[in-house]
Structure 1
Amino acid sequence: MTDILVKDSSDNAFMKDVIETSQDTPVVVDFWAPWCGPCKTLMPALERQVKAAGGKVKLVKINIDENPGVAGQLGVRSIPAVFAFKDGKPVDGFMGAQPESELTKFIARLSGESDPKEEAEVLVARARDGLTAGDPGGAAQDFAQALQLDPENGSALAGLARVYLDMGNRDMAVEMVESATGPLADHPEVASIRSELSLGEGAPEPDAPVEEDTELRDAEASVAADESNLDARLIFAKALAARGRRAEAVDHLIYSIGRNRMHADEAARHFLLTIFEAEGPQSEVSIDGRRRLSSILFA
């Protein structure tokens, strides 16, 4: 039976057909049902890809109407559901129908013939989906694995650093960014998280009482006492940005540039660009701020 690439199986035969077989050859398990429309599209495409791999991967199909046991143990709640097993353990998978181009990549990863850079991109995409779904731990694992596969992947490095930062581990985030050298250091996402870290310098502890934030109060008082004091306004803008109040910081920086764009070697403009870089080009703070800056610079 070991030469059969595609076969139907059952809960009773799962140990032999999947767990034991995957010790020697990766096994893809397709959980399906006769009433499932997408299953009928996915199954023949999976069979084509497995056969094209020339024996490096096998496919096992399990009808969950007749065999609900293993699917239930794996937490399958919708079909089609596909799991890849290697060395007796699930190592990859997906839910729902997929384009055949994605199935090609899936089988290539499992058979060990995928391009490490392409595989890293797949992991980065999955990590981002994980963040959206509220799974920072899983995202961190995917970012880290992507970085192992492709040490020059700036998206993976920046993504992992941002997860560390969001989880309160600023030191590790800084270490990740500082490890970037050469072209990697100039990657847009790495530059963005670097700016993010620089904006947070000097910020109070997250759990510090607001009423004890004397630095912010003093900076605000200085601006209120003399609205034309652009040095005080820059200090206030930096204090606001460090506390995540970036839209307010942009307001003060735009005001300063409008009053005297060359003040202190264009310090306000340089800090404004740092905020834009940290926010990213799609942020409303960046879009609105750049529009307002342009109206001043090109008036």
Structure 2
Amino acid sequence: MAHRLLVRRICSLSAKDVCRLQSPAAAASFSTSLHATAARPSFLSPSRSLPRTSRRAVSFNVQDNEDFTERVVNSELPVLVDFHAQWCGPCKILGPRLEKAVAKQKGRVAMAKVDIDDHTDLAIEYGVSAVPTVLAMRGGDVVDHFVGIKDDDELDSFVSKVIGQ
């Protein structure tokens, strides 16, 4: 980041400033002003602060059994659980489509992604024998599921049905 600030500072110099930097005193002055700029970058000034939003993530990766229990089983929202694997071609196609269908619902449903190679115990517990498998959970109970790939319309219909239950 310091390198970017330095480049930005150098690029913003005019020809007159470059000529002044040829003297050692001017170079020292430039260095001091550069350190002051680096200490408090202009893009963090109060007038240009970044907007703060409290958006929840549409989807998340399950980290462990405790995380699964906390964010899926105990969730107030319905949760779609996408059991997938890195080596699975259909999973790579379904994942982004499913995320898009969930995002259309604007926070009325969440999506948990579970890699079966990392969380074999969860896959066994929920009877996942093929990937991709998607479970719809509400209040810790599986209310619906499907195995394999679906097109965008079928995914939208599936997600809407889960929300409406």
Counterpart of 1:47 (choices 99, 114, 119) is 99
Instruction: Tell me if 1:65 matches 2:79.
Output: no
Match of 1:98 in 2: 150
Bigger RCO of structures 1 and 2 (CA < 8 A, at least 6 apart): 2
Instruction: Tell me if 1:18 matches 2:72.
Output: yes
Structure with max Cα Rg: 1
Cα gap change, 1:76/1:14 in structure 2, threshold over 3 Å: closer, same or farther? same
User: Cα deviation per residue 1:12-43 (whole Å; 9 max; x = unaligned)?
Assistant: 2110110011xx10000000000000000000
Q: CA deviation at 1:3?
A: 2.0
Instruction: Map residues 119-134 of structure 1 onto 2, 5 A cutoff.
Output: none
What amino acid is aligned across from residue 10 of structure 1 in structure 2? Q
Runs of 4+ residues deviating >6 angstroms: none
How many residues are matched?
Answer: 111
Q: Distance in 2 between matches of 1:29 and 1:80?
A: 10
Q: Distance in 2 between matches of 1:31 and 1:11?
A: 14
CA RMSD of aligned residues (A): 1.7
Match of 2:61 in 1: 8
State the TM-score, normalizing by the size of structure 2.
0.64
- Greater per-residue strand proportion: 2
- Greater per-residue helix proportion: 1
Cα gap change, 1:102/1:51 in structure 2, threshold over 3 Å: closer, same or farther? same
Q: Distance in 2 between matches of 1:16 and 1:2?
A: 19
User: Identity of aligned pairs, percent?
Assistant: 37
Q: CA deviation at 1:2?
A: 8.4
Unmatched tracts of structure 1, length 5 or more? 114-299
State the TM-score, normalizing by the size of structure 1.
0.36
Structure 2 residue matching 1:110: 3-state secondary structure: helix
Q: CA deviation at 1:75?
A: 1.1
Match of 1:86 in 2: 138
User: Cα deviation per residue 1:148-192 (whole Å; 9 max; x = unaligned)?
Assistant: xxxxxxxxxxxxxxxxxxxxxxxxxxxxxxxxxxxxxxxxxxxxx
Match of 1:36 in 2: 88
Q: Distance in 1 between matches of 2:149 and 2:63?
A: 22
Q: Distance in 2 between matches of 1:33 and 1:51?
A: 22
Structure 2 residue matching 1:103: 3-state secondary structure: helix
Q: CA deviation at 1:10?
A: 3.2
Q: Distance in 2 between matches of 1:32 and 1:97?
A: 12
**Contact in 2 for aligned 1:31/1:71 (Cα 8 Å):** yes
Q: Distance in 1 between matches of 2:151 and 2:64?
A: 28
